[in-house]
Amino acid sequence: MANKRIVITGTGVVTPLGCNVEEMWRRLMNCESGIGPTTVFDASTFPSQFSAQVPDDYDHLADLPQELREEHKLAGRNSRFMIGAAVQAWRQAMLPLPLNGDEPAIRSERVGLYLGAGEGPLDFDNFIAPTVEGWNSETQEMNWEIWGKVAKARMDAIRELEQEPNMPGSHLARLFRITGPCMSCLTACAASTQATGEALEMIRCGDADIVIAGGCHSMIHPLGVTGFNRLTALSTRNDDPTHASRPFDKERDGFVLAEGAGAVILEDLESARKRNAPILAEVLGYGSTADAFRVTDQHEDGRGGIAAVQLALKDAGVSINDIDYISSHGTGTAENDSIETHVIKSVFGDQAYKVPVSSVKSMLGHLIAAAGVVELITCVLAIRDQILPPTTNLTNLDPECDLDYVPNQPRKAPVNIAMSNSFGFGGQNNIIIIKKFSE
Amino acid sequence: MPKRRVVITGIGLVSALGESSQDYLKALWENNSGIKRIGAFDPVNFTSQVAGESPALRMAKLVPKAHRKATKLMSRDIELAVVAADDAVRDAQLKTKGTAPEEPADIEPTRSGVNIGAGLICCDIPELAAAIQNGTENDTFSYGKWGREGMATLTPLWLLKYLPNMLSCHVSIIHDLQGPSNAVTCAEASGLLAVGEAFRLISNDKADVIVAGGAECKVNPMALLRQCLLKRVSTKYNDTPEKACRPFDSQADGTVVGEGAGIVVLEELQHAQKRGAPIYAEITGYGASFECGPDYVAPSSQGKGIALAITKALAESKLDPDKIDMLIPHGASVPSHDLGEVNGIKTAFGAAASKLPIFAVKSRVGNCGAGAAAIDLVTAALLMKHNKIPANLNCDQPAADLNIINQTTETELNNVMTSCYTYGGQTAAMVLSKI
- Hey, is the C-beta of A109 within 8 angstroms of any chain B C-beta? yes
**Candidates A182, A366, A379, A401; catalytic one:** A366
Same-domain pairing of A90 and A146 = no
Q: Please check whether residue B146 lies inside any domain of the structure.
A: no
H or E element: which one contains A325? strand A325-327
Instruction: Reply yes or no on whether A329 is catalytic.
Output: yes
- Among A113, A140, A159, identify where a domain stops: A159
What's the pTM value of the predicted model, to 2 decimals?
Answer: 0.98
State mean pLDDT over B263-279: 97
Q: Does residue A1 belong to any structural domain of this protein?
A: no
pLDDT value for B3: 84
Residue of A nearest to B114 (CA): A290
H-only helix segments in A177-322: 191-204, 222-230, 269-275, 303-316
Best CA proximity match to A417, nearest among A303, A266, A283, A304: A283
- The confidence score (pLDDT) of residue A269 equals 98
**Residue B138 belongs to some domain of the structure:** no
Q: What is the pLDDT of residues A65-105, one digit of tens each?
A: 999 999 999 999 999 999 999 999 999 999 999 998 666 67
The tens digit of pLDDT for each residue in B274-325 reads 999 999 999 999 999 999 989 999 999 999 999 999 999 999 999 999 999 9
User: A166 and B186: CB-CB below 8 Å?
Assistant: yes
Strand partners, B136: B141
- Per the structure, the complete domain to which residue A148 belongs is given by 124-159
CA B108 to chain CA mean position, Å: 27
Same-domain pairing of A245 and A389: yes
The minimum CA-CA distance between A214 and chain B, rounded to whole Å, is: 14
CB–CB of B90/B99 below 8 Å?
yes
Domain count, chain A: 2
- What pLDDT, on the 0 to 100 scale, is given for residue B62? 85
Burial class (CB in 10 A: 0-12, 13-18, 19+), A153: exposed
Helix (H, G, I), strand (E, B) or coil at B181: strand
Backbone angles phi, psi at A272, to 5 degrees: -60, -40
- Contact flag A144-B42 (C-beta cutoff 8 Å): yes
Q: Could you confirm whether A221 is annotated as catalytic?
A: no
CATH of the domain at A89: 3.40.47.10
Nearest to A162 by CA among B116, B366, B187: B187
Residue type, B121: I
* DSSP code for B148: I
Measured between CB atoms, does A76 come within 8 Å of chain B? no
Interface size between A and B, measured as CB pairs under 8 A = 280
Query: Quick check: is B373 in a domain?
Result: yes
Question: Do A325 and A371 share a domain, yes or no?
Answer: yes
Asked if residues A432 and A283 have their Cβ atoms less than 8 Å apart, the reply is yes
A105 shares its domain with A134: no
Residues 355-374 of A with CB under 8 A from B: none
Classify residue B72: in a domain, yes or no: yes
Distance (Å, rounded) from C-alpha B299 to C-alpha B13? Answer: 28
- Tell me: do A210 and A359 sit in the same domain: yes
Cα Rg, chain A, nearest whole Å? 21
Q: Which of A134, A159, A184 is the last residue of a domain?
A: A159
Tell me the residue type at B330. Answer: H
pLDDT score, position B60 = 85
Residue A31 is among the residues annotated as catalytic for this protein: no
pLDDT at B346 over 90: yes
| Mean pLDDT of the residues in chain A | 97
Residue A153 lies in a domain: yes
Any chain A CB within 8 A of the CB of B37? no
Do both A155 and A219 map to the same domain?
no
Whether residues A314 and A188 fall in one domain: yes
The 3-state DSSP class for residue B229 equals helix
A134 and A229 part of one domain: no
Of the residues A60, A299, A329, A342, only one is catalytic, namely: A329
Domain tally for chain B? 1
Report the candidate in A337, A281, A349, A287 with the shortest Cα–Cα distance to residue A314. A287
Residue B136, in any domain of the structure: no
Cα–Cα distance, B170 to B181 (Å, whole number): 11
Q: Are residues A142 and A213 in the same domain?
A: no
Cis peptide before A414 (omega within 30 of 0): no
Quick one: A27 and A155 in the same domain? no
Per-residue pLDDT tens for B125-179?
999 999 999 999 998 999 999 999 999 999 999 999 999 999 999 999 999 999 9
CATH number at residue B400: 3.40.47.10
Output the CA–CA distances (angstroms, integers) from residue A213 to A152, A167, A222, A276, B333, in the order listed.
36, 14, 28, 20, 33
ipTM over the 0.95 cut-off: yes
Average pLDDT over residues B369-380: 98
Q: Where are the alpha helices (DSSP H) in A247-367?
A: 269-275, 303-316, 334-348, 361-364
Q: Do the chains contact at A183 and B193, CB–CB below 8 Å?
A: yes
Choosing among B165, B210, B295, which should be mutated to test the A contact, i.e. which has the most A CBs within 10 A?
A: B165
- Contact flag A129-B221 (C-beta cutoff 8 Å): no
Q: Is the same domain home to A146 and A33?
A: no
Within a domain: B420: yes
- Cα A221 to Cα A55: distance, rounded to the nearest angstrom: 16
Structural domain harbouring B264:
7-122+162-433
Question: Strands B415-421, B426-433: parallel, antiparallel or unpaired by DSSP?
Answer: antiparallel
Average per-residue pLDDT for chain B:
97
Is the pLDDT reported for residue B9 higher than 60? yes
Is B289–A180 a contact, with Cβ atoms under 8 angstroms apart?
yes
- pLDDT tens across the length of chain A (439 residues): 458 999 999 999 999 999 999 999 999 999 999 999 999 999 999 999 999 999 999 999 999 999 999 999 999 999 999 999 999 999 999 999 999 866 667 899 999 999 999 999 999 999 999 999 999 999 999 999 999 999 999 999 999 999 999 999 999 999 999 999 999 999 999 999 999 999 999 999 999 999 999 999 999 999 999 999 999 999 999 999 999 999 999 999 999 999 999 999 999 999 999 999 999 999 999 999 999 999 988 999 999 999 999 999 999 999 999 999 999 999 999 999 999 999 999 999 999 999 999 999 999 999 999 999 999 999 999 999 999 999 999 999 999 999 999 999 999 999 999 999 999 999 999 999 999 999 8
User: Has residue B311 been placed in a domain?
Assistant: yes
Percent pLDDT > 70 in chain B is 100
- Domain check: are A16 and A153 in the same one? no
Q: Which of residues 130-149 of B touch A (CB under 8 A)?
A: 130, 132-133, 136, 139-141, 143-148
What pLDDT, on the 0 to 100 scale, is given for residue A2? Answer: 52
- At A144 the three-state DSSP class reads helix
Residue B325 lies in a domain: yes
pLDDT at res. B410: 98
Residue A100's pLDDT is 83
Question: What pLDDT, on the 0 to 100 scale, is given for residue A1?
Answer: 43
Which residue does chain B place closest to A121, by CA atoms?
A: B120
Determine, for residues A155 and B185 on separate chains, whether the beta-carbon distance falls below 8 Å: no
